[in-house]
Chains A and B, each alone.
Chain A
Amino acid sequence: MTEKFDEVKEVKVDYTRLRVPLGPVHPALKEPISLTVTVRREEILDVVIRLGHVHRGIEALAETRNLIQTLYLVERICGICSHSHTTGFVQALEEIGEIELSDRSLHLRSLIFELERMQSHLFLIGIMAYEIGFDTLFMFTWYEREKILDLFEEITGNRIHHSMNTLGGVRWDLSPSFVEKVNCSLNKIEKSAKYIQEVFQDKTVEKRLCGVGVLDYDEARELCVVGPTARGSGVKVDIRKAYPYAAYSELKDDFSVVLRNTADAQARTQVRILELFESINLIRAILEKLPDGPIYKESVIKLMKKIPEGEATSLVEAPRGELLYFVRTNGKEGLWRLNVRTPTIPNVLGLKPMLIGSEIADIPVTVASIDPCMACANRITVVDQDKRETIVTDLKNLRNRGKKQ
């Protein structure tokens, strides 16, 4: 089933078709992804997506480290949703070790989660504006985003990698005076979020976003896209509602799942903007309900030593969608296997149906609208470059390959 590139048959050159390589280094993509786009004038005929430029071998690396080291390693999978990754990992460990958490630590985990969702969505809205050449909106959203980063810095001491989670709880507590401050910032952010929502109804913005990168409901279901990408296509998936984790089971009534049916870039952006308001509501509810109690159990090292051999899966709703962690511990402070399924992997697959038939000008908008996080996705090499062969295979063959190795 393998087909060598070297055996090139006679090629008919069609001069109306132009192959435009997009990436891995491209100003529209802050992270490397390679799209080879075949165009006729402005229309896109075919897209070849290649991942793997940021493949750092994290899963293999995790097997050589102990659990606490791995906790900080998985945080570095992605800089935008670092808290989601650590939550996913720690939850799996806590399930294996049967560690009970205090209510306060669970609430704090959810609080950081929602703050992270807000900064990630503001980030994406800004990038979206940047892609359509609307620099002013980009500057404005990022100016607002700094306010959330300030909150992060005051709570955890870091702007990007918060290192908030630890085995059996969280590392930093909120002081009562700080609660006021968070509320104050939230009010400001809510006001500007409303403004951003208005600006996104501007005519030139709508012209660029409406009807671009359409992924209809059936296709979205088929490709199993997750997160805001799915919700923009009308698929109701939200791990926070379906499989509540952290403190979300208590906060069920404080937020709703935002759905849009138009399935284009505008819909996905709208979902993100509206989720900002949901997150603001959630944070307010968390701050109101915040119970008293300890924030962590005991020394992490002691806890780590107690974790037996076992395996667990945990699901969290990262800003980009469902994030799955499969962890198998070896009972000796280490891991047999770590497997991460990040939301970008299913979402990137959605790019092909979105792009074919649209224009070159739509590529950056479409790519940005699924909010790809290449750093997350690239732990699997898809194409073997050294052997120069692509493998076209079905499930049966794949299983056979697995047996051979």
Chain B
Amino acid sequence: MNTVIILLITFPLVFLLSLLFEGIDRKVHARMQKRIGPPIIQPFYDFVKLFNKERIIPMTASSRIFTTVPIIAAAASILGASIPVASLIAGSNVGGDLIIILYLLTISPIMVMIGGSSSGNPYGAVGFSRKMTMLIAYEVPMLICILSVSVNYTSLAYYDIVLTQVKIGSLLALARPSMAAAAAAFVLCMPAYTETVPFDMSEAKTEIVHGSLVEYGGPYLGLVKLAKSASNFALSFLAVSLFFYTPALLERYFSPELGGAMLLCLVTTLIFMVFTMTVPRTIFARLKIGQAFKFYWLVPLTLSIISVALSILGL
């Protein structure tokens, strides 16, 4: 019962935070390009506007899949984002462990992908194939990273790993060489998951017209966008609290249940998001799908396998 109440409180919080973070990301991106940029609350305007638009279901689409998929995507990614946030607020494991969180966060891209291919648009089909390739490219190293963490601390419970950092008084990424490798691999997977340049080929506007999103419009597009920004936020938050839980450095001043720790964690998430999403988006060009796949199986996969090997050795 308690779990449900905490999660219900966290839902609106995650909704607000994820849209706010997206707004900040857009603003920073614009400032880096010598532009003024949109107001920070721009994503809220976009969201409200999209919800007040006409619903169009294309004739070629299979309408049931097309309309239900965005709802599932948004629900899954908000739930996925709520679990870690709620765990930190409640100071205990809420809802589920790491496997559940990663599972929920993978649902949303898969759902968007299915929705895109159900629209009957050839660009949706190309977007599907590209996203599938990318999913295989980044999902494998990401899961191996989590495996390495769990081998190290013999736990898959999210809050236990956060507490470990508080106990050792250091960031997990700095604690052991195996964890440093895992953190590096996880960070490298971030731009692919969030689909920002250089790895946004599944939604490339100039190549395949937003890929899976091409036929979506109005409220459905709003939900898909919400799902995307919520899962971006969720993954950044997860990465920060797993590997870079900064309140752990100041454990004397913050007990982990307090709001201050949460705030510091959010600030770190924001900085982390700027460096893993906004900066690559500004300074790189989009890669081709083959090049991206090669990169992911060369660098992050190797790193994550090294990390697992090191953790088994106990380093």
Contacts and interface: CB of A to CB of B under 8 A. Distances in A.
Quick check: do A and B touch in the complex, using CB within 8 A? Answer: yes
B285 A361 contact: no
Nearest to B201: A361
A42 interface: yes
B208 interface: yes
Interface residues of A, number: 33
Contact of A364 (B32, B123, B207): B207
A311 B286 CA distance: 51
Interface string A348-367: 00000000000111111000
Nearest to A209: B285
Contacts of A134: 197, 284-286
A140 B209 CA distance: 23
Interface stretch (A199-207, A224-232, A268-276, A326-334): A199-207
Nearest to B197: A133
Contacts of A202: 285
A18 B124 CA distance: 12
Given A134-B285, A134-B286, A361-B288, A20 B123 contact: yes
Given A27-B206, A136-B33, A204 B122 contact: no
B132 to A, nearest CB: 11
Chain B residues touching A, majority SS: helix
A72 interface: no
Nearest to A137: B285
Nearest to A358: B288
Contacts, number: 83
B129 interface: yes
A361 B289 contact: yes
Contact of B286 (A27, A41, A133, A143): A133
A135 B33 contact: yes
B195 to A, nearest CB: 11
B interface, size bucket: 20 to 34
Contacts of A136: 32-33, 282-283
A79 interface: no
A176 to B, nearest CB: 33
B287 interface: yes
Interface in A29-81: 39, 41-42
B284 A363 contact: no
B285 A363 contact: no
A132 to B, nearest CB: 4
A131 B122 contact: no
A27 B205 contact: yes
A136 B33 CA distance: 6
A130 interface: yes
Contact of B198 (A19, A41, A133): A133
A222 B129 CA distance: 37
Contacts of B286: 132-134, 204, 208, 361
Contacts of B282: 135-136
Interface string B91-130: 0000000000000000000000000000000110110010
Contacts of B52: none
B287 A204 contact: yes
A131 B204 CA distance: 9
Interface in B242-298: 281-291
Contacts of A130: 206
Given A133-B197, A361-B289, 5 more contacts: A21-B122, A136-B32, A208-B285, A361-B288, A362-B288
8 contacts: A28-B207, A134-B286, A135-B281, A139-B33, A139-B34, A207-B287, A208-B285, A359-B288
Which 4 A/B pairs are nearest by Cβ-Cβ distance? A133-B286, A134-B285, A28-B206, A132-B285
